[in-house]
Structures are given as C-alpha cells and as structure tokens.
A = this chain, B = another copy of it.
Amino acid sequence: MFKIGDFSKLSQVSSKALRYYDNIGLLKPAHVDSFSGYRYYTIDQLPRLNRIVALKELGFSLDQITQLLDENLSLAQLQGMLRMKQAEIERQIADEQQRLLRVQARLQQIECENTSSAYDVVTRQVMPMTIASIRDRVPDYSHVGHLFHRLFATLGEHQVQATGSPFVRYHDGEHREDDPDIEACIAIEALEIEHEHITVSKLPAVQIATTIHTGQYTTLSAAYGALMTWIAHNGYDIILPNREVYLRGPALNRSAETYVTEIQFSISKRVNI
C-alpha cells in the first residue's frame, strides 16, 4: 500500500492528476481510509495507470480512455478507434504544416522586402448569394461606375431590394488595362427579374483568400500583389473570376482616401504531385 505521494513518485504521475483520475472514476485507489480520507494505492494498480498514460500519449482524451478501459471492447472496436485517431493526427499534422507554411511565408516576406506588409490575407468562406449583374467588355476601368449606374437604375425600376455591397467580377485570366471583361454585381433577394442587359445568377459558396485595401483605387495593385504572393506562397491555386467588393466606395461622396475595398480570390488547395 502506497500513499498518494509514493505512488506518484513510483509512476511519475503527479498526485494532483491521481486525485483527478480518482474523481472522474478513471483510477480509484485500492483503498480509501474512511476516517482520514487518505488514498492508498497498491502496486497492482500500476499496470492500469501505465495503460492510462500510454493511451494518453496516443492522444486519447481521459473520457475515451475511461471507455476503452471499462467497457472492455472488442479488438475490432479498438482497431477502429486507433484508425480514427490515426486519421485525426494526420489531419492535425497537415494543419500544422499549413500553419508553418504561413509563418514561413511571412518571415520570407520580411526578409525579402524588409518590411511587414500592410495587407493581411485571410481565408474564409463566402456565403452563396443570388446576384443581379451586368457584364460587359468596356474600354477601361473608369466605365465601372457607368455599369453600376445602369444596374441600379434597372433594379430601381423593378423595385428589387439589393443587399450587401456592390462588387465586380473580373473575367479576364490576367490583369489587363484595356478592354477588361467586367461584371458589375450586387446581391439581391432571391426572385425573378427579366430585363435586357441584366442577368440574375446564383453564386455558390466558395473558399476565398481575401484582403482589404484602404484608399484610392489607383493603389489597389499593391493589395493585388500582396494577395497573389500570399496565395502562391501558401500553396493555393486561383479559380477565376476574382471579385472586388466596394465596401465603401464613391457612393457616399467621401474622399477617395477613405475608400475600402476587399479583394477576393476563390482558391483551392494546390495538389502537389
């Protein structure tokens, strides 16, 4: 019979942990003095404690270990749990490696440019939405306002409720100053409209990499650069078209310095063969 401290030294498991295991019913002492409350363990309990520690190192929670030990389950069940654990660990490793990649990309960027980027790139989902849009190949970017003008005018005529911020989709494979293929979009309540020049379509939910640009549109290219670099360094592929969301644009008649624009690229994890 060992007191808790001796058993703790023997097994190298803290007495706090031993008490906890007692509380949750994972390892009850062989004897508890009913007067003093002292816990007494025997050497026979060491194998069970060892098993607990071993399973803990495999990554099982104490809850799972309790089940594993008490509901003495079949070999097949144990095998199943191990396989699940295996898959889980593999997923975790992949996550960590992804994280490592991001940290390294950030470090590399600091080393190369000797500056920390003003753009923080984040991945997230965009919700699916129904949009009304006008798509056209226009001479240059200054015509975007015109497209939105036509779009909103038509929606107004039909009394269609727009929601969210207006955005454009760029359908060209690469950046081009001249004759870009632009689609001016706005999310709408889901309903049917018919009108020449206006298309209603549903955009599915997609995973995107996104960054926020604050300031005039003439400096947007820096944000594009940061975003593209990030995507390349973090092992993603771009899926066209990309979106440019005008979170705060010219509509408010405020200074161009206060414009806020979000750039979104739909992405998928690059498959390395």
Contact = CB atoms under 8 A, between A and B. Distances in A.
Contact of A99 (B9, B89, B115): B89
A59 B12 contact: no
A96 interface: yes
A30 interface: no
Contacts of A121: 54
Contacts of A92: 96
A255 to B, nearest CB: 13
B96 A96 contact: yes
A145 to B, nearest CB: 19
Question: In the assembly, how many copies of this chain are there?
Answer: 2
A36 interface: no
A79 B104 CA distance: 10
* Residues of A contacting B: mostly: helix
Nearest to A9: B127
A75 B43 contact: no
A53 B106 contact: no
A140 interface: no
A100 B89 contact: yes
Interface string A80-113: 0011011001101100110110111011001000
Contacts of A248: 43
Nearest to A127: B9
Interface stretch (A44-52, A177-185, A235-243): A44-52
A270 interface: no
A71 interface: no
A115 B76 CA distance: 10
28 contacts: A10-B247, A12-B125, A43-B247, A43-B248, A43-B260, A44-B258, A44-B260, A46-B212, A46-B247, A50-B122, A51-B120, A54-B121, A54-B122, A57-B122, A57-B123, A58-B102, A58-B103, A59-B99, A78-B116, A82-B106, A86-B104, A86-B107, A89-B100, A89-B103, A90-B100, A92-B96, A93-B96, A96-B96
Which 6 pairs from chain A and chain B are nearest by CB? Answer: A54-B120, A51-B120, A12-B124, A89-B100, A50-B120, A47-B212
Interface of A: 9-10, 12, 43-44, 46-47, 50-51, 53-55, 57-59, 75, 78-79, 82-83, 85-86, 89-90, 92-93, 96-97, 99-100, 102-104, 106-107, 110, 114-116, 120-125, 127, 210-212, 214, 247-248, 258, 260, 262
